[in-house]
Amino acid sequence: MRLKTDTQGAQRRPLLDDPQLVPGALIDVAKHLGNLAFNISNNMKKLFSYSPVILDPNAANPELVLSDDLTSVRCESEQKLPDNPERFDYCRTHSWDVEVGESEDWFVGVAAESVQRKGKRPSCLWRIGCFNGNYIARCLSDPSLALTLKTKPRKVRVHLDWYRGILSSFLIMSYFYILCTLFENSTIYFPLTWLMCLKTKLQMC
């Protein structure tokens, strides 16, 4: 009798409605999974730094100490390091390339710190280049040396051996090499570029 009464009472009670979801009740799948790889990459950048240049400890001078991540260097007392072929000692040579492109009037080379900076005939210059379509090389105030090239150079490599006082130039693509005896190695020298051709440029590289 008791069971029957309870059953009848349950049947008379109305069923509850389905629960209503409020905004934000569900996991925001789009927020957490959308652009997942991109978001992870951005977060990783905050933990690590990137340097486009990495220093080589096997080539470092004994007086240079590299950081653990090989991105910075400081000078300290000389260390006892292996004298391997890759390691620099006290060599004072410098090389750089200059893209001359389509320029017709240009010079590249070196200039002494004491160069005459005013006037049409500056002194203390060593250069190679093109003037009025003719390729020439000139050391100091010596007469210009005419160069005969089979192809037009697009890039010039300048090599300065400060210790021996020698400047050499290599016209890339033209396979032309010229050597010039220079100067006293107690002088400071700077890269030289000269351009007189409109709408063109020289690019150091």
Token pair, residue 103, equals 């320029």
Cβ atoms of residues 138 and 129 within 8 Å:
no
Listed in order, the ranges of the chain carrying CATH 2.60.120.920 are 92-204
Task: Give the mean model confidence (pLDDT) for residues 1-12.
Answer: 50
Homologous superfamily, domain 92-204: SPRY domain (2.60.120.920)
CB neighbour list of residue 121: distance below 8 Å, 6 or more residues apart: 141
Cα–Cα distance for residue pair 126/12, rounded to 1 Å? 110
DSSP class of residue 154 equals S
> In this structure, is the dihedral angle defined by the CA atoms of residues 144, 178, 132 and 118, taken in order, positive or negative?
negative
pLDDT, residue 1, reads 47
Tokens read off for 12:
């008379």
pTM of the model: 0.53
The three-state secondary structure class of 109 is: strand
CB-count burial class (<10 Å; 0-12, 13-18, 19+) for 53: exposed
Task: Please name which of 137, 176, 173, 139 lies closest in space to residue 155, comparing C-alpha atoms.
Answer: 173
- Is 157's pLDDT higher than 80? yes
CA atoms of 172 and 174, how far apart (whole Å)? 5
Cβ pair 115, 124 in contact under 8 A = yes
Digit-coded pLDDT (tens) for 7-37: 455 555 555 566 666 666 677 667 766 677 7
More confident residue, 201 or 158: 158
Give the closest residue to 155 by CA, choosing from 189, 94, 203: 203
